[in-house]
């Protein structure tokens, strides 16, 4: 454990947190990181895009990891950063990439007033929980962890001494849980192929079958006024082809300013 | 200033996560809100360890972390398989058992 304590920064952080009461440095860290963590948590819930939500949650979890380190738990803080922000959130990002940006995450409420009611419930819960905790533990005398950390020569040896004696059964059960989860994920993610793989001949027959469109879909339109992927292609009969635009791309209404002929020949001015 | 401030922050984060579970429709975002609630619980556990002067709270937080990792793996696999069959990750679309 001496190597963690020997690092000057780690030693300073642990010394900062050793007393039960919060020192000045810890207060500053708490107010700065606490506001960032809470703000990013709210932004995570409010963000329309699921990818933004995941990134906001990464920031919140990172702040919590630093809180753990400040509170004399360097091991749990590092585990938080490695396991949560490193592994779990990257898994979330992978699944978001696979599932794609969900088109159906609409603003239409299935139950009327559910969003307002949910926010009210959250505010009420926050008031009750925060008020209760603040009243019950507001003037508590915290003992601090310096003695517990020093008993076995540091935080990690102290945790190891507990984990492999008093909590050794829970630790063993944890390994069974992890193996079960890994096997379960493999079974759920496995796709069973039904029947034989189609030959090229069958695929070709299917493509030219009745009701199918054998040619590739028309690409989005490339016109003088716009070459955006949201511009539908114009079919030979003059209609716009809905098949040429991806459903994931939001159509954008062009204003008169956007469609105005740009006077490129006269150098920009049209006076 | 006592470590109680950490507990109030953890209560606030927990409530933000609860609101996220209640109002969001995307299953993955709902899942992320559950993770936020677990994290808020972890912050409370680590703070309790400091208040009581014993390392048991940190051990509990560690176990919560392990269980959360297992839960995320299985939960995301379930969301993936639902998406594969229904082409949607919205919690409103999984309504086969409704009637």
Examine residue B15 and state whether it is found in any structural domain, yes or no.
no
Range of the domain at B54: 26-89
Cβ B9 vs Cβ A115: under 8 Å: no
Examine residue B33 and state whether it is found in any structural domain, yes or no.
yes
* Per-residue pLDDT, A251: 62
Tokens 């009581």: give the residue.
Answer: B52
Examine residue B20 and state whether it is found in any structural domain, yes or no.
no
Distance between B77 CA and the closest CA of chain A, angstroms: 6
Look at strands A233-234 and A240-241 and give their pairing.
antiparallel
Q: Which residues of A touch B53 (CB under 8 A)?
A: 20, 142-145, 147-148
Separation CA A226–CA A88 (nearest Å): 41
Q: Which residues pair with A234 in a beta bridge?
A: A240
The closest of B4, B76, B69 to B43, measured between CA atoms, is: B4
Determine, for residues B80 and A95 on separate chains, whether the beta-carbon distance falls below 8 Å: yes
Separation CA A126–CA B9 (nearest Å): 10
At B90 the three-state DSSP class reads: strand
* Per-residue pLDDT, A48: 84
Number of domains in chain B: 1
Distance between A11 CA and the closest CA of chain B, angstroms: 17
Rounded to 10 deg, the angle between the A89-99 and B27-52 helix axes is: 170
Examine residue B58 and state whether it is found in any structural domain, yes or no.
yes
pLDDT in tens, chain A (271 residues): 444 444 555 555 554 455 667 788 888 999 999 999 999 999 999 988 888 899 999 999 999 999 999 988 899 999 999 999 889 999 999 988 888 665 445 666 677 888 899 999 999 999 999 999 988 887 778 888 888 888 888 889 999 999 999 999 999 999 999 999 999 999 988 887 777 888 899 888 888 888 777 777 777 777 777 777 777 788 888 788 777 777 766 666 777 777 777 665 554 444 4
CB count in 10 Å sphere of residue B8: 20
Q: Read off the DSSP letter of residue A194.
A: P
Residue A29 structure tokens: 């860290």
* Per-residue pLDDT, A19: 63
User: For residue B65, what is the domain's CATH number?
Assistant: 1.10.287.3510
Determine, for residues A148 and B80 on separate chains, whether the beta-carbon distance falls below 8 Å: no
Examine residue B79 and state whether it is found in any structural domain, yes or no.
yes
Q: Which of B32, B54, B84 to mutate to test the interface with A (most CBs of A within 10 A)?
A: B32
Examine residue B5 and state whether it is found in any structural domain, yes or no.
no
Determine, for residues A115 and B20 on separate chains, whether the beta-carbon distance falls below 8 Å: no
Q: Which residues of B touch A88 (CB under 8 A)?
A: 35, 68-69, 72
CB burial class (10 A; 0-12, 13-18, 19+) of residue B76? buried
Structural domains in chain A? 2-104+131-181 (1.20.120.1200), 223-252 (no CATH)
As a whole number of angstroms, the longest Cα–Cα distance in chain B is 54
Examine residue B83 and state whether it is found in any structural domain, yes or no.
yes
CB burial class (10 A; 0-12, 13-18, 19+) of residue A55? middle
Separation CA B45–CA B41 (nearest Å): 6
Examine residue B81 and state whether it is found in any structural domain, yes or no.
yes
Residue B82 structure tokens: 């639902």
Cβ A65 vs Cβ A80: under 8 Å: yes
């Amino acid at each position: 454990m001496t190597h963690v304590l020997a690092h000057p920064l780690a030693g300073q952080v642990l010394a900062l947190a050793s007393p039960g009461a919060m020192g000045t440095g810890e207060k500053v860290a708490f107010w700065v990181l606490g506001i960032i963590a809470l703000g990013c948590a709210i932004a995570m819930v409010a963000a329309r895009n699921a990818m933004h939500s995941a990134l906001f949650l990464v920031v919140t979890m990172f702040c919590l990891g630093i809180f753990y380190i400040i509170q004399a738990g360097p091991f749990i803080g590092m585990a938080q950063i490695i396991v949560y922000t490193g592994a779990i959130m990257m898994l979330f990002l992978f699944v978001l990439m696979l599932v794609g940006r969900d088109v159906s995450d609409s603003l239409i409420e299935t139950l009327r007033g559910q969003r307002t009611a949910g926010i009210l419930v959250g505010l009420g819960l926050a008031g009750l929980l925060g008020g209760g905790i603040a009243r019950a533990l507001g003037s508590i005398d915290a003992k601090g962890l310096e003695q517990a950390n020093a008993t076995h020569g540091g935080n990690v040896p102290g945790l190891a001494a507990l984990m492999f004696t008093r909590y050794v059964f829970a630790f063993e059960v944890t390994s069974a849980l992890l193996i079960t989860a890994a096997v379960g994920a493999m079974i759920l993610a496995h796709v069973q192929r039904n029947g034989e793989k189609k030959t090229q001949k069958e695929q070709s027959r299917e493509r030219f079958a009745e009701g199918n469109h054998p040619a590739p879909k028309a690409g989005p339109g490339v016109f003088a006024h716009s070459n955006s992927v949201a511009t539908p292609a114009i079919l030979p009969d003059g209609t716009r082809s809905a098949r040429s635009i991806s459903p994931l791309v939001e159509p954008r209404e062009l204003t008169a300013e956007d469609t105005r002929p740009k006077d490129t020949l006269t150098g920009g001015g049209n006076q | 200033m006592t470590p109680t401030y950490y507990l109030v922050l953890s209560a606030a984060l927990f409530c933000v996560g609860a609101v996220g579970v209640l109002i969001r429709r995307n299953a993955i975002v709902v899942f992320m809100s559950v993770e936020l609630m677990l994290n808020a619980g972890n912050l409370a556990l680590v703070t309790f360890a400091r208040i009581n002067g014993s390392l048991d709270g940190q051990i509990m937080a560690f176990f919560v972390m392990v269980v959360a990792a297992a839960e995320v793996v299985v939960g995301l696999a379930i969301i993936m398989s639902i998406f594969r069959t229904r082409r949607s990750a919205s919690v409103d679309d999984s309504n086969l058992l409704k009637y």
